[in-house]
Structure 1
Amino acid sequence: MTSTATTMRAQRLDTTTLTFEITDVPVPAPGPGQVLIEVAFSGICHSDLSLLDGTFPAMGPEVITQGHEASGVIAALGPGVEGWALGDRVVPAAGRPCRQCPMCRRGELGRCLALQLMAFAYDGAWAQYTVADAQGLTRIPDNVSMEHAAVLADAVATPYGAVVHTAELRVGESAGVWGVGGVGTHIVQLARLVGATPIVAVDLDPAARQRALDLGADLALDPHDAQLVSKVREATGGIGLDAAFDAVGIKATFDQALEALGNGGRLVGVGMSADELSLGMSVLFNLSRKQVRGHLGYEVTDVGVLARLVSTGRLDLSRSISQVVALEDLEEGIRTLRSGEGSPVRILVQP
């Protein structure tokens, strides 16, 4: 049995005018190696806002459906798909390899040089159905809610990749997180899960700072605090941070996080903006042996790890969903995230 629907409701963004509408479009057909997913929930991310306001360009299509964090059930199988069945609960990866670059041709799909991003290069999941590569699917345990499953594909997996792969954060190391919204909140939780101590959260919003403390931070600071760096050094025994995560991506947070690092510390850039960043004087940067590492996304296998952590009670996402809006009310969710009203972690769309 496959999906019998022929049309569906979907958001369609005109990347030239940066306007969108919710309209009826044909249900896409899965191609070879692909599946059709009936979407349960899809997240609204700050990178979605960046496409909407023109900060980040689309990767090709003039009209595209946004939404790159999704959960759902398989509604149809494309030719050649094995190991999956109709009704399976899944999360699709938020990107797919180009399969044509030198890395892909030698089988290193995870190091693709021209990674195609869901909702930027091809249609995403702010729709009733979406198509995904079967190789990028993750099976979701029955005791993990579809709401929590949806945020795994970026809001939790990107922080996991930043903490575990890019920062290589180790037990007992200190960590600082600048910006504790949708991404930073989960960086705090995952840093605690891997044994980081102390963990310092930095945010303008008092509600976000309190949430970070509730979820595992040891210290929460206002970035306007003139004594912030000295307080970080005091909390780390005068050393400074082993790892800092900039989940905002603007010059002010980057500079402050870099200053708070100890000798040899690693600054991981997670948030993105159009700001230009600087490392300052080369002599001071080199003498400090500090490192700056850019981060994007995650490995597909990370989603499965996170699903197990949620399933077994090791990772609590009970405070991760701030609001759920209907697809027809998408603009309301976008406005809330953009304004920061209520200090949202993640807002979901339910088609």
Structure 2
Amino acid sequence: MPATMRAQRFYKATREWAVEDVPIPEPGPGEVLIKVEYCGICHSDLSLIDGVFGGPNVPDVITQGHEASGTIAKLGPGVIGWAEGDRVIPAAGRPCGVCDFCVRGRFGDCANLQLMAFAYDGAWAEYTLAQAFGLTRVPDNVPMDQAAILADAVSTPFGAVVHTGQVRIGEAVGVWGIGGVGTHIVQLARLVGANPILAFDIDDEIRDRALALGADAAFDSRDPDLQQKVAAATHGRLLDVAFDAVGLKTTFEQGLEMLRPGGRLVGVGMSGQEPTLGPTMVFNLLRKQALGHLGYKPEDIETLAQLVSAGRLDLSRSISDVVSLEDVGEGIRRLHERDGNPIRILVQP
């Protein structure tokens, strides 16, 4: 194995980045070194570059990228149950191990979770380190490009639909913003039996894509008659669950408005904007719920990998393009400018 590798390095002070030669890390106790096959470009990666995300917990210099797949290149001391060459997905976060949840073995609920590519180096690189106990094995019939996006672009929507939103069979669901997250919310809501599924986006092409991927109807969220159309599509009930995959004040408040009494709004997209719940008298009388969502449970990735393997979940249309590590800037630009309306652009080091 060579001594160095190519990796993207982000400099927090200047918010600039470059692809550089850096030492290949050595796996410590309980860790594995992974040769990266693919790693996705996510909007949260862009948010770090733009300065929306960040803070004191982000190192001064860090490698980005947290949706990865690859093969184990080296085992650290004490690792059992894994072998070099195994196809794996690393978890996109590390539990702290000392909070009340971790002490009780509830690592998925860790109160101080360290996020890959924000607290420690990610996978826009030829190699990356991961804790062995957070790995997911990739079935032989699952393509590695699709496996990579399971670590966030699909598992975060899965968590939103199944855990936070608790969507039940026959419930009417609306999804605002049919990009990398919203696309998979549509597919997963259909998989669990939601009916109908309504998609909301300002782009004609994206609305058509939502219909092709499982939405029953798609609307322009700027339509002045939107509430009447939603009522017609749901037989007068409005929505049981609304997912805001955008995170803007307008999308959050519109989703809340489209809920039936007792309905649930799940916020998945994030921004610095501040929506309101309206008068507490109205909010309380209608018994609406506004729920924040982030991430997924560690076991969700394996569930999704098995669904893809069994043919229950088709992610073949989710890979919009693949760029080399040296061209990661072009991938960032395309996602930032929505050039071609990509669902996911992957980096292949």
When normalised by structure 2's length, the TM-score is 0.99
Aligned-partner SS, 1:248: coil
Which of the numbers 211, 222, 225 marks the counterpart of 1:224?
222
Q: CA deviation at 1:33?
A: 0.6
Which of the numbers 19, 23, 26 marks the counterpart of 2:20?
23
Q: RMSD in angstroms over aligned alpha carbons?
A: 0.7
Q: What residue number does 1:171 align with?
A: 169
Q: What residue number does 1:113 align with?
A: 111
Counterparts in 2 of 1:152-171, with a 5 A limit? 152-171=150-169
Counterparts in 2 of 1:49-68, with a 5 A limit? 49-58=46-55, 59-68=57-66
Q: Does 1:7 align with 2:4?
A: yes
Q: What residue number does 2:200 align with?
A: 202
**Hey, what's the Cα distance between the residues in 2 that align with 1:115 and 1:131?**
17
CA contact (8 A) 1:324 1:347 kept: yes
Q: CA deviation at 1:229?
A: 1.5
CA contact (8 A) 2:25 2:128 kept: yes
**Hey, what's the Cα distance between the residues in 1 that align with 2:87 and 2:2?**
19
**Hey, what's the Cα distance between the residues in 1 that align with 2:215 and 2:108?**
32
Amino acid at match of 1:328: E
Which of the numbers 193, 209, 212 marks the counterpart of 2:210?
212
**Hey, what's the Cα distance between the residues in 1 that align with 2:156 and 2:108?**
14
Q: CA deviation at 1:219?
A: 0.6
Amino acid at match of 2:203: D
Counterparts in 2 of 1:325-340, with a 5 A limit? 325-340=323-338
**Hey, what's the Cα distance between the residues in 2 that align with 1:264 and 1:38?**
48
**Hey, what's the Cα distance between the residues in 2 that align with 1:81 and 1:229?**
55
Q: Does 1:71 align with 2:69?
A: yes
Q: What residue number does 1:38 align with?
A: 35
Aligned-partner SS, 2:317: coil
Which of the numbers 262, 265, 270 marks the counterpart of 2:263?
265
CA contact (8 A) 1:264 1:289 kept: yes
Give CA deviations for 1:253-288 in whole Å, capped at 9, x if unaligned.
001100001110000000011111210100000011
Amino acid at match of 1:68: H
Residue-pair matches, total: 348
The runs of 4+ residues in structure 1 deviating greater than 6 Å are: none
List runs of 5+ in structure 1 lacking aligned partners.
Answer: none
Give CA deviations for 1:10-31 in whole Å, capped at 9, x if unaligned.
0000011100000000001111
Counterparts in 2 of 1:112-151, with a 5 A limit? 112-151=110-149
Counterparts in 2 of 1:249-264, with a 5 A limit? 249-264=247-262
Q: CA deviation at 1:233?
A: 1.3
- More displaced 10-residue stretch of structure 1: 98-107 or 310-319: 98-107
**Hey, what's the Cα distance between the residues in 1 that align with 2:84 and 2:154?**
26
Q: CA deviation at 1:5?
A: 2.2
List runs of 5+ in structure 2 lacking aligned partners.
Answer: none
CA contact (8 A) 1:97 1:112 kept: yes
CA contact (8 A) 1:45 1:346 kept: yes
Amino acid at match of 2:14: T
**Hey, what's the Cα distance between the residues in 1 that align with 2:41 and 2:58?**
21
CA contact (8 A) 1:205 1:343 kept: no
